[in-house]
Amino acid sequence: AYVIAEPCIDVLDRACVEECPVDCIYEGDRALYIHPDECVDCGACEPVCPVDAIFYEDDVPPEWSAFIADNTHFFEKPLPGQTEAFGSPGGATKVGRLAVDTPLVARYPPPSA
């Protein structure tokens, strides 16, 4: 699957969302996350991100390798304040903004004013 890494945090450009044919890019609070099972590896999202946050899983730069498991974590483990994992909703549009992040993303310092 494709993965969204650190540069998306607090940018949330959302150009990627428009490109995805299977609507598998979900919006958290400070970043977006690609569903690893719903993504069909079409690659359409990757070139449109203005901050180059999106990579095929095998091409994620080493400093951001934790984001591979982190995109999965967003769906497969209960997030802070949640009792159940989101699982596989089968479409991000109907779910809308989830307003929660993985601990990895939530730990990033807020953008400086």
Residues within the interface to ligand F3S (CB under 6 A):
2, 4, 8, 11-16, 19-20, 22, 24-25, 32, 34, 39-45, 49, 51, 53-54
Closest CB 71 distance from ligand F3S, rounded Å:
10
Which CB atom, from 49 or from 105, has the smaller least distance to ligand F3S? 49
Query: How buried is 70 (Cβ within 10 angstroms: 0-12 exposed, 13-18 middle, 19+ buried)?
Result: buried
* Structure tokens belonging to residue 112: 């400086």
The phi and psi torsions of 2 (rounded to 5 degrees) equal: -90, 160
N-to-C CA span, the chain? 34
Closest CB 107 distance from ligand F3S, rounded Å:
18
Which CB atom, from 32 or from 79, has the smaller least distance to ligand F3S? 32
Dihedral (CA of 93, 84, 6, 41) sign: negative
Which CB atom, from 64 or from 83, has the smaller least distance to ligand F3S? 64
